[in-house]
């Protein structure tokens, strides 16, 4: 098959693009490199630098494409609070541009990567796809709005649409920006550096962490699965862990004595978020293979940023 992966030089996008290319597919990637790195990509992947809202460029890249994976987005929740207009422009406007260009080019299926963040605070856990979204950040609002555009434009123009709400993906190579870094690589870095592990809130809040290879399996299946048009499907591990328990696991996997430092500088977010993955099992034949402990160990072993630090 022929694929276009927007945001394909990012953490999750590059893992997907490389998997597709190594499986014999033709893969094109579009990324503006605001957070991506083309060095992550397999030589077989055709990379183009550009803005996801550039419709003429999209027209060119979409010629002959069978399926689009739309991952291009701004993804930092705290940043979205400061810059909601930018998040709306990229995450919503960029998605509409992709759908318009697909309509014009005659592409028949899109797999849109949304986020478990759209659920917000939910009483019933694990949370299923029929739960009413309760977004609590501009990032989550932008993802939910983009979902509606994808499904509506798809229905109007005969484009098959699959929306995957991805929970906390992690693994080797996950970015570590100076501010608002994802929790797992940040805690690994702090543990190996001998410092305290900063935990926002009381640390009792829990999250569903899914290893990147498992998420890629689910994404890959969505391109050819049957009876998934207009479906919204959770992708996660199906299990959650508190941040305090995660700190303990980080200590064990790094071999370091760790001391959590609770910080009130930033809220810890929703109290619990765990994915109900029954629908993914049924429609995508999705079964997570990597548990959290194994994923943490592989991240530590396979990420060169962590290999270079001495372990006690």
Angle between helices 292-302 and 183-192 (to 10 degrees): 60
**Torsion sign across C-alpha atoms 105, 108, 113, 114:** positive
Q: How many CA atoms lie within 13 Å of 78's alpha carbon, on the beta-carbon side?
A: 13
Which are the catalytic amino acids? 139
Q: How far apart are CA 174 and CA 170, in angstroms?
A: 6
Say if strands 206-207 and 109-115 run parallel, antiparallel, or are unpaired. unpaired
Kindly report whether the peptide bond that precedes residue 126 is cis, defined as omega within 30 degrees of 0.
yes
Confirm if 128 and 279 have CB atoms less than 8 A apart: yes
- Sequence-separated (6 or more) residues with CB below 8 Å from residue 289: 213, 214, 217
Q: How far apart are CA 140 and CA 76, in angstroms?
A: 10
């Amino acid at each position: 098959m022929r694929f276009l992966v927007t945001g394909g030089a990012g953490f999750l996008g590059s893992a997907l693009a490389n998997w597709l290319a190594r499986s014999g597919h033709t893969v094109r990637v579009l990324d503006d490199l605001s957070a991506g790195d083309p060095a992550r990509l397999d030589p077989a992947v055709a990379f183009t630098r550009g803005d996801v809202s550039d419709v003429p460029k999209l027209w060119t890249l979409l010629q002959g494409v069978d399926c689009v994976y739309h991952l291009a987005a701004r993804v930092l929740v705290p940043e979205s609070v400061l810059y909601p207009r930018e998040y709306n422009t990229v995450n919503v406007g960029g998605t509409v541009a992709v759908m318009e260009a697909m309509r014009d080019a005659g592409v028949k299926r899109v797999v849109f990567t949304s986020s478990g963040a759209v659920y917000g605070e939910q009483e019933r856990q694990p949370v299923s796809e029929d739960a009413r979204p309760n977004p609590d950040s501009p990032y989550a609002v932008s993802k939910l709005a983009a979902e509606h555009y994808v499904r509506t434009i798809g229905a109007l123009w005969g484009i098959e649409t699959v929306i995957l709400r991805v929970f906390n993906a992690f693994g080797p190579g996950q970015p570590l920006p100076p501010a608002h870094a994802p929790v797992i690589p940040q805690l690994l870095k702090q543990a190996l550096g001998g410092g305290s592990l900063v935990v926002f809130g009381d640390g009792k809040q829990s999250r569903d962490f899914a290893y990147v290879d498992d998420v890629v399996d689910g994404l890959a299946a969505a391109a050819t699965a049957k009876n998934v048009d207009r479906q919204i499907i959770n992708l996660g591990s199906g299990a959650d862990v508190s941040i305090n328990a995660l700190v303990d696991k980080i200590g064990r996997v790094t071999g370091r004595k760790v001391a959590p430092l609770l910080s009130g500088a930033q809220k810890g977010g929703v109290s619990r978020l765990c994915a109900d993955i029954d629908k993914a099992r049924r429609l995508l034949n999705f079964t997570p293979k990597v548990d959290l402990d194994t994923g943490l160990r592989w991240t530590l072993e396979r990420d060169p940023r962590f290999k270079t630090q001495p372990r006690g």
